[in-house]
Amino acid sequence: MDILSCAALAVIESVALRALVSDIDVGPQRIAFIAFGLQYLVLKWYRLFLYPKYFSPWRHLPTPPGNQFMLGHAGRIFKADTPVSLFVEWMESNPDAPFIRYLSLGHSEVLLVNSPSAHREVLQSNCYSFTKTDRLRKMIKQFAGEKSLALLEFDEHRQHRKMLAGILSPASIKQLAPIFTATVKELQNMFDAAIESNDGKTGVIDCTYTYSKATLDAVGISIFGVDLAQTRNAGLVRHDNDNYSFTDAYEDIFAPSTLGKVLFALNAFIPIRWLPLEANQKFMFASRWLNETLAGLVRERRQKITGAIAAGKYDKQSRDLLSFLIEESLPGGTAAGISDRHIADHLLVFLGAGHDSSADMASWSTHIMATRHDIQDRLRAEVLDLVSRNPEPSSADIEALPYLNNFYRESLRVYPPGMTMHRQAATDLTIQGVFIPKGSIFDLAPAVTSMNPLIWGDDAREVNPDRWDAATITSEQLATWSNNVFSNGPRICPGKGFAQLELKLMLFHMVLHYRFLSVEGEFTVENPALTLRPHGLRVRIEKISG
């Protein structure tokens, strides 16, 4: 719009100047070009340096120091210990402010939603006054189609959210408990292999690798009803890997090299996927492979189900989300008419979110137990007590354990796996007395409210499961908007119940059979990243006899 405005004004000025000065020895095109260049430079200088400091309606909001020339605070965010550690520092300096303003690339303004009440207005009261940001859409579209729930807006989002509600209802998720139990068996095999490969007494696991493999298998079976590690695409093979699989595709997309992570983040600002770099080539192949393979799975499953129905041999007792969604997409179903493209895109996002987030949650829970043996011992005591009374407890029995539930909630509060939600105002509005022009960009980081000392106390950064006890927890801490781990409002994560049951069952069996002794060496947190992922987190484990 700035370019068009400058161009139109330059043409008008050129015509006016020629009319006023008839003997000027310069062509109208050159006059227009010079006028355009000068005006555009002046406008950019104003936007970059004058507007944020002197004219922005947000200039009076808390703005952190450390702004860098042309980079704003973006450079510092990418160099921080984690992708959200600076957000938490800024919040701690202004814990009661509704918003904190910071500058991104090109000194563009971004509002960090800071207080619980501001979160409520953005995520609930005015949910559909916001859309996903253009930048986020570009990031998601790099690996997922435009028809996923993550990118749908307004009435289309409401419609598809309603369609998917039954698929991820508590009753449907309970049916997945046997799958999660099977995942635990695979984890035990990997734990045992690590111990046997060492001295037979203790072993060391790489948490990110171990849990990623286990959760990918669980998510694959629960979503698609197939073993993703064994799924191939004969029509699309990479020249250096004839056995390319889902595991390879997810490594290339979500766990690339440092250059790959930088390219993933930068492509949301500047189109750079065309650059002939190996990281780009791997990403583009993985994205294409993933989309084509999922489309094939959806197509084959639909043919199988409709064929069985036509033959009168289909038992409508789906055991995976793909079958359930295809069943409900048939005439009379809750998702009647939904296209195969929508189904593939929805499940692709579920696959990514369910796999990465669950693995990260398990990794951070393991880190807590390995560094806080007092917490681990209390968990084990509660688990052993249940098993002594009921040797084969149900998933409901496990979910009802009070200290396990407290530990689960506290782990997510301190280490929320989802990093940042991004929103863009679709209309002018006012929130917490702050005028929000259309097009304004917002960041919502769960860690901002879950670490707020005004809500959680001066020990907000410490892990303390007891803070969730019914006798001590406050109404403000229990408020939905004080802990936005899975987002909230109409766009709350549909897989919340899925992740909760999966992690609780994993934790139950892990502390029943193993001790987590210590963290081995140093580790880092990936930045940039889509989730709070520890890199190089290695934990020493010991099997419990009997």
Domains and CATH numbers, the chain: 1-55 (no CATH), 145-418+485-543 (1.10.630.10)
pLDDT number for residue 254: 74
What gap in Å lies between CA 13 and CA 205, rounded to an integer? Answer: 70
Residue ranges in the chain modelled with pLDDT below 70 = 1-40, 42-46, 144-150, 166-167, 316-319, 353-354, 546
- Ramachandran region of residue 169, left (φ > 0), alpha (ψ -120 to 50) or beta? beta
Listed residue (466, 461, 494) closest to 409, CA to CA: 466
What gap in Å lies between CA 401 and CA 504, rounded to an integer? Answer: 10
Q: Please classify residue 312 by burial: count the beta carbons closer than 10 Å to its beta carbon, then call 0-12 exposed, 13-18 middle and 19+ buried.
A: exposed
Helix (H, G, I), strand (E, B) or coil at 494: coil
What gap in Å lies between CA 217 and CA 208, rounded to an integer? Answer: 14
What gap in Å lies between CA 167 and CA 501, rounded to an integer? Answer: 15
What gap in Å lies between CA 487 and CA 490, rounded to an integer? Answer: 9
Give the contacts of 338 (CB within 8 A, at least 6 positions apart).
160, 163, 325, 328, 329
What gap in Å lies between CA 182 and CA 160, rounded to an integer? Answer: 31
The continuous run of DSSP H or E covering 371 comes out as helix 340-371
524, β-bridge pairs: 535
What gap in Å lies between CA 241 and CA 231, rounded to an integer? Answer: 14
**Cβ pair 103, 52 in contact under 8 A:** yes
Q: What's the gap between Cα 393 and its chain centre?
A: 32
The values of phi and psi at residue 487, to 5°, are 65, -170
What gap in Å lies between CA 195 and CA 234, rounded to an integer? Answer: 37
Number of helices (H) and strands (E) in the chain: give both, helices first. Answer: 22, 12
**Tokens representing residue 292 in the block:** 């084509």
Helix (H, G, I), strand (E, B) or coil at 513: helix
44-81 burial: b if 16+ Cβ within 10 Å, else e: eeeebeeebeeeeebeebbbbeebeeebbbbebbeebe
What gap in Å lies between CA 191 and CA 409, rounded to an integer? Answer: 25
Binding site for heme: residue ranges? Answer: 493
User: What DSSP assignment string belongs to 45-88?
Assistant: HIIIIIIIIII-TTTTS---S--BTTTBTHHHHHHSSSTTHHHH
Binding site: residue ranges? Answer: 493
Cis status, amide bond into 528, omega within 30 of 0: yes
pLDDT number for residue 46: 67
pLDDT number for residue 173: 75
What are the distances in angstroms from CA 72 to CA 101, 103, 448, 521?
A: 11, 5, 20, 34
